[in-house]
Amino acid sequence: MLQLILGGARSGKSRLAEKLASDSCLAVTYIATSQPLDGEMNERVAHHRARRPAEWALIEEPVQLARILRETASADRCLLVDCLTLWMTNLLMLDDTKRLSAERDALLDCLASLPGEIIFVSNETGMGVVPLGELTRRYVDEAGWLHQALAERCQRVVLTVAGLPLTLKGTAL
């Protein structure tokens, strides 16, 4: 089963995804996409780390998400990917301008063949004002296109607001 959990900053999306992973009764591998490059991000990573069960496996991969999913997915495992917008940011910041589309296409192409349960977490950024800068507008556009493509492929899509899940597609929580 593929699930997409969307929400704004501090909406409860990661906490919900972690609960769903725990409730799956499968072995869990947490795939972290962040690159903690400053003190504030280090604090966020530490907060997420402290909240996760010790028995969960951890893979840190900022760029090659499709490769990690293909190598790690199995029928007896739940993969929790947190978060897609950080992954996309990592790709946007690379000097290789074609890498984002190549990695996004690889991700979307591999989803149908992946066994087990996979939960994606991502920031819904397109509900606010249109950003002034070209890079930030591209970020919002790319995130929106990625979310639409993933939502088509996922069996469940949930929007989380104020810690409350609103099921947009699939079985209600």
Residues 29, 78 contacting (CB under 8 angstroms):
yes
Point out the catalytic residue in the list 48, 67, 70, 77. Answer: 48
Residue 66's nearest CA partner among 32, 96, 109 is: 109
**Alpha-helix residue ranges (DSSP H) falling in 24-133:** 39-51, 65-72, 84-92, 99-110
- Strand 117-123, strand 164-169: pairing: unpaired
CA pair distance 127, 125, nearest whole angstrom = 6
What letter does residue 111 receive in the DSSP assignment?
Answer: G
Residues 84, 146 contacting (CB under 8 angstroms):
yes
CA pair distance 111, 117, nearest whole angstrom = 11
CA pair distance 166, 7, nearest whole angstrom = 10
- Give me 50's structure tokens: 């402290």
Catalytic site includes residue 147: no
Catalytic residues: 48
